[in-house]
Chain A
Amino acid sequence: MSGTATAVPPAAKAAERPPARTNRRPVRPARIVLYTFLTVAALGWLAPLLFAVYASLRPYQETAKYGYLSLPRHLSLHYYSEAWTSAEMGKYFRNTLYIAVPAVLLTLFFASFVAFALSRYKIPGRKTLLVMFTAGNLLPPQVMVTPLYTVYTKIHLPYFMSSSGTLYDSYLGVIAIHVAFQTGFCVFVLYNYMRTIPHELTEAAIVDGASAWRQYWQVIMPLTRPALGALGTLEFTWIYNDFLWALVLMSSGDKLPVTSALNNLRGEFFTDYNLLAAGSVLVALPTLIVFFALQKQFVSGLTLGANKG
Chain B
Amino acid sequence: MTVPSSVTQASTERVTARRRRLGRFTRRDIVILSILLAIPVLFDLSLIWATTAASIGLSFSNYNGVTAIQWIGGRNYEQIFTIYEPFWRAVRNNLLWLGVLGLIGTPLGLFFAVLLDKKIRFTRFYQGLFYMPVVLSLAVVGFIAQLIYSRDYGVLNSLLGRADHPTDWLGDPSINIWAILAAVVWRHTGYVMILYLAGLKAVDPALKEAAVIDGANERQTFFRVVFPTLRPINIIVLVITVIEALRAFDIVYAVNSGRNGLELLSVLVTQNIVGEASRIGFGSAIAVILLATSLGFVIVYLTQIIREDRQ
Contacts and interface: CB of A to CB of B under 8 A. Distances in A.
Whether chain A touches chain B in the assembled complex (some CB pair under 8 Å): yes
Contacts of A176: 43, 47
Contact of B132 (A45, A69, A263, A300): A45
A67 B49 contact: no
Contact of B44 (A184, A241, A307): A184
B139 A147 contact: no
B68 interface: no
B2 to A, nearest CB: 11
Nearest to B150: A68
B173 interface: no
A262 B139 contact: yes
Q: How large is the interface on B (under 10, 10 to 19, 20 to 34, 35 or more residues)?
A: 35 or more
Interface stretch (A73-81, A109-117, A157-165): A109-117
A131 B130 contact: no
A306 B294 contact: no
Contact of A14 (B41, B201, B270, B301): B201
A286 B183 CA distance: 22
A51 B205 contact: no
B284 interface: yes
B17 A114 contact: no
Contact of A147 (B43, B58, B115): B58
B37 A117 contact: yes
A45 B194 CA distance: 15
B81 to A, nearest CB: 19
Interface in B177-197: 186, 190, 194-195, 197
B215 interface: no
A287 interface: yes
B41 A129 contact: yes
Contacts of A168: none
A36 B166 CA distance: 32
B14 A308 contact: no
Contacts of B233: 304-306
B140 A212 contact: no
B147 A180 contact: no
Contacts of A14: 201-205
Contacts of B202: 11-12, 14-15, 303, 306-308
Contact of A280 (B133, B139, B270, B301): B139
A139 B50 CA distance: 12
B232 A140 contact: no
B147 A136 contact: no
B143 A277 contact: yes
Nearest to B287: A143
Contacts of A142: 266, 269-270, 273-274, 283, 287
B208 to A, nearest CB: 11
A90 interface: no
B140 A211 contact: no
Nearest to B247: A140
Q: Interface on chain B toward A: helix, strand, loop, or mixed SS?
A: helix
B302 A276 contact: no
Which residue among B140, B204, B283 has the maximum number of chain A CB atoms within 10 Å of its CB? B140
Interface string A272-292: 010011011101100110011
A34 B118 contact: yes
Contacts of A151: 51
Interface stretch (B28-36, B70-78, B85-93, B98-106): B28-36
Contacts of A42: 125-126, 129-130
Which residue among B28, B46, B147, B294 has the maximum number of chain A CB atoms within 10 Å of its CB? B147
Contacts of B176: none
Contact of B274 (A138, A145, A284, A300): A145
Nearest to A37: B115
A64 B153 contact: yes
A252 interface: no
Which residue among B116, B137, B302 has the maximum number of chain A CB atoms within 10 Å of its CB? B137
B112 A308 contact: no
Contact of B195 (A38, A45, A212, A302): A302
Given A38-B120, A284-B140, A306 B199 contact: yes
Interface of B: 14, 17-18, 21-22, 24-26, 28-29, 32-33, 36-37, 39-41, 43-52, 54-55, 58, 63, 65, 112, 115-116, 118-121, 123-140, 143-144, 146-148, 150, 152-155, 158-159, 186, 190, 194-195, 197-199, 201-205, 229-230, 232-233, 235-236, 239, 243, 246-247, 266, 269-270, 273-274, 280, 283-284, 287-288, 290-291, 294, 297-298, 301-302, 305-306, 308-309, 311
Given A68-B155, A140-B287, A179-B40, 15 more contacts: A12-B201, A19-B123, A129-B37, A140-B291, A143-B52, A144-B47, A146-B273, A147-B58, A211-B32, A212-B32, A237-B134, A277-B147, A281-B140, A284-B137, A305-B235
13 contacts: A41-B112, A45-B133, A67-B152, A110-B40, A121-B33, A130-B309, A131-B305, A143-B52, A146-B280, A192-B308, A276-B139, A280-B140, A299-B197
4 closest A-B pairs by CB: A69-B158, A15-B201, A147-B54, A122-B18
Interface of A: 11-12, 14-15, 17, 19, 22-23, 31, 34-35, 37-38, 41-42, 45-46, 48-49, 51-52, 55, 63-64, 67-70, 110-111, 113-114, 117, 121-123, 127, 129-136, 138-140, 142-148, 151, 176-177, 179-181, 183-184, 187-188, 192, 206, 211-213, 230, 237, 240-241, 243-244, 247-248, 259, 262-263, 273, 276-277, 279-281, 283-284, 287-288, 291-292, 295-296, 298-309
